[in-house]
A and B are shown apart, each in its own frame.
Chain A
């Protein structure tokens, strides 16, 4: 399969991640959508590095993305737990303490 097929899969996954973020009203879906988007970027990195002479750079980028995604997921879950504790809700629109 050529590079275009991988780029197409990556674009589709990116679109589905965006849909998960804006369609579902639940913080956990926002988190899952972010993971989908990061993974779409990873597919692109690895595909381009593979079709550009198997260089190491794209894979290294993908590994650092995975590292940052792990850190992000841990912090985001901690924030979700705190927000649920404070507002008794996991809808992003309910966290509106600063609104008058």
Chain B
């Protein structure tokens, strides 16, 4: 392991421990869970940017997605947490890994100064904007609706999808979009017959590249 990676992972471990401690100190067990999931989310994203190998980056992105599912659980959105794991970890990450396997590795692509300066510049900028927002903005919160206490989340979402006065149009549109996008993805990604049999390409199109100019 390179020295820079050792320093990076040591700093990351300190930050993660700090996040756990801060959460535990400020809100007890819930704060500890929040610290765990938040550090899983942000730490996974950091490792994803840091690592040279695309496969390691993809797997650290899995930590990010699982951390986000945990945050959804803390926000009492249990159906969304399950959907997050099913779709992101099971679907999108598998797709990305297919992309990794179908393209060549490029270990020299990551330049350390580029990564560090990007982290410093954008991270610093966001920290500054965040402090400005924290100074000026106030998010009004409202207590949870007591009539919804103990109501099944998945059932609420299912009713919301199908009730005529709620989301049924968007639901049907999403179905159409998914069908069109997936058929289009298969159409775009398929190998054409010409690619598979280079020798037969000339016969298929009636064009022969070798003497096409002279004839």
Residue of A14, A18, A48, A66 with most chain B CB atoms under a 10 A cut-off: A66
Question: In the bound complex, how far is the Cα of B106 from the Cα of A3, in angstroms?
Answer: 41
Contact with B along A58-84 (1 / 0, CB 8 A): 011011101111111111011111101
Quote the shortest CB–CB distance from B40 to chain A (angstroms): 10
List the interface of chain B (C-beta within 8 A of A): 23, 26-27, 30-31, 34, 38, 41-42, 45-46, 48-49, 54, 57-58, 61, 64-65, 68, 71-72, 74-77, 79-80, 83-84, 87-88, 91-92, 95-96, 98-100, 102-104, 106, 109-110, 114-115, 118-119, 122-123, 125-126, 130, 134, 139, 141-145, 148, 153, 156-157, 160, 166-167, 170, 174, 177-178, 181-182, 184-186, 188-189, 195
Contact pick for B185, options A47, A75, A84, CB 8 Å: A75
Closest to A56 in B: B160
Q: Chain A contacts of B71 at CB under 8 A?
A: 6, 9, 43, 46
Question: In the bound complex, how far is the Cα of B126 from the Cα of A46, in angstroms?
Answer: 21
Q: Chain A's interface: helix, strand, loop or mixed, by majority?
A: helix
Q: Is the CB of A60 within 8 A of B87?
A: no
Q: Chain B contacts of A56 at CB under 8 A?
A: 156-157, 160, 166
Q: Is the CB of A3 within 8 A of B99?
A: no
Q: Chain B contacts of A7 at CB under 8 A?
A: 139
Q: Is the CB of A32 within 8 A of B189?
A: no
